[in-house]
Structure 1
């Protein structure tokens, strides 16, 4: 007997789809609603640490993820300027345990496709182009409105609908993402010869320049700059900005620039942070993933934390026999402090760059987060 038999989920991101898979596999009736007309087929890449890979195995999709991405160990630091020499080769802790690589890069659309296919294969009903617009609760159910019309009563509504969550607003939580002072340009390009792991360049024309392999012949690259309004920038201007800002970086960046000049897309977003204090639920509605917390990608833990939310919540729902305060207390005890530590550390890494702190203990901070996430949530 599970604590729930019928669940609605808002949002077809990583956290929402993972929750749908876990619950549908356990025999729970799942309806997932997403405002997008379909999953995106274009996009950049994503870096996944070992604790995320461990959850993919629990979901039953690890083999597909491994075949679609590029696994690697370690991280190179390069100096900006001529030659882009490697100044440090850093080991990565296997936060997922010895059975998984320390890190993997892959295409975001490929990951979304794998998770969607798994959710539907296990019986979850996924409704695209549908937005959760209202809800009302009783002691034993939550009635969900989609596009202004009631679609049914559920045992639980999971708000996994991202940074600007409508579910978060509907349950009266006023916490919203705040800018951290950084913005990021991203592009998806071919893999330069000799690149076999993530590499970062600190300093130079921007705060951070870097890239991560995502397959045998693909990778995504990024430039982190002071946040500014780039909303009116055309695709051509976006490519020009990335080309000009990257001229201070040699080595593989010469290959990246050639791809951008050849038409590779460039997109821009701000870094944000927020964390909803416990509790993340209001009655029979709960927030997870980016709806509950967001952080800059400086430690590459955003998706991993959403996956951990999904894994912990689903475990408690499947193994429990009632959706009661004891279940919520267990969920918050396992998730809030851990997610907060990741958010704070991710923001701190960026703030050191903004403030120009040269003696910051980056290694100590990263090691601390690695030790934390190496322990299963």
Structure 2
């Protein structure tokens, strides 16, 4: 009887959930562990998904649910701090002409859609569980879990995020570095006039923007210079974000009046990470934020993670041996594309931090989107 390959996925975010669904569809045995007892089902405010992310979600079989839950649109507006619209440009359809250019969605809704897909796939899921030790040999990995149990797998996929413990455990020493900016984010009711993303560069912050995430909801964000996170009282998060938001015009006063619950406001630094060396050590391989992350200035973080899952699945199910050559091929295929996104996202931040007045932001964004329109 042929051996059914087994995979442990560590982390149940976008990349971990996606690779679980795709590998189960290919007939592999997959266990997924997630440290959070609630699978992060209520965490976050909103997310902007461009066409190349939607393309992977369609492959996962969840596009119809995503489309029904979110708000699709095809343009981006740039406004002055007083709300005056300076220009509107059409977004590039990076997922192809049969998908929207962009879709906004409440992040917990996306997570729940992916959770449901993982559950339906037949994968074994263990919440509130971490991998404590990884003992490798030439054929697989023996994993000891935080609950005292253990299991042996042909492959471990590290999808445990920016501060990946698995990445560190296999000796990859790269760590995320702050770029000097931070973001306040919160959900709010959608003003009727908000039917696309509008961005304001300048004013009391570097960027103020909002994205429609559904018929009745919007995701609002304000980007400023990093503060010492230890000096900000979480109980004042809503007050701080509202103070910044109230200084913008247009629909911002309407949004700002709903920024009252500090528990719904998130404050996060912008980080940069790109593991340049191989994304594997033996039979443990990185995906998503464990391998790379970037500021959300291009709204490509989730898209890059979802693409990782898709490309890795293609290679694992290609019939090739699961060896260094295959895992290196995954790295070599992904790194140039991811580097383009990371470097462009960081450059957009640096231009603003440096007060660069002649920066070609539209040109850089356009060139990067053109790359992303190609299949990964």
Shared topology, TM-score over 0.5?
Answer: yes
The SS at the match of 1:205 is coil
Task: Provide closer, same or farther for how the CA distance between residues 283 and 263 of structure 1 changes in structure 2, counting only shifts above 3 A.
Answer: closer
Name the counterpart of 1:12.
12
Partners of 2:75 and 2:197 within 8 A in 1: yes
Distance 2:5 2:237 in 1: 48
Deviation at residue 247 of structure 1 after TM alignment: 2.5
Partners of 2:282 and 2:324 within 8 A in 1: no
Distance 1:252 1:36 in 2: 36
The SS at the match of 1:99 is coil
Are 1:27 and 2:27 an aligned pair? yes
Distance 2:317 2:2 in 1: 5
Distance 1:67 1:148 in 2: 39
Count of aligned positions: 375
Name the counterpart of 1:69.
70
Distance 2:293 2:227 in 1: 19
The SS at the match of 1:195 is coil
Distance 1:268 1:135 in 2: 33
The SS at the match of 2:317 is helix
Q: Normalized against structure 1, the TM-score is what? A: 0.96
Distance 2:24 2:240 in 1: 45
Q: Extract unaligned runs of 5+ from structure 2.
A: none
Q: Extract unaligned runs of 5+ from structure 1.
A: none
Name the counterpart of 2:193.
194
Partners of 1:288 and 1:306 within 8 A in 2: yes
Deviation at residue 242 of structure 1 after TM alignment: 1.1
Deviation at residue 234 of structure 1 after TM alignment: 3.6
Deviation at residue 116 of structure 1 after TM alignment: 1.1
Distance 2:267 2:127 in 1: 25
Are 1:294 and 2:293 an aligned pair? yes
Name the counterpart of 2:52.
51
Q: What do residues 329-364 of structure 1 show as CA deviations (whole Å, max 9, x unaligned)? A: 321221011111111110000110100111101111
Q: Normalized against structure 2, the TM-score is what? A: 0.96
Structure 1 residue ranges, 4+ long, deviating more than 6 angstroms after superposition: 1-4
5 Å-filtered alignment, 1:1-377, equals 5-39=5-39, 40-81=41-82, 84-147=83-146, 149-261=148-260, 265-377=264-376
Q: What do residues 121-144 of structure 1 show as CA deviations (whole Å, max 9, x unaligned)? A: 111111110011210111111111
Task: Provide closer, same or farther for how the CA distance between residues 332 and 204 of structure 1 changes in structure 2, counting only shifts above 3 A.
Answer: same
Partners of 1:3 and 1:322 within 8 A in 2: no
Distance 2:4 2:344 in 1: 35
Q: What do residues 171-220 of structure 1 show as CA deviations (whole Å, max 9, x unaligned)? A: 00110100000010001000012110001000000000001000001011
Partners of 1:4 and 1:322 within 8 A in 2: no
Distance 1:183 1:42 in 2: 18
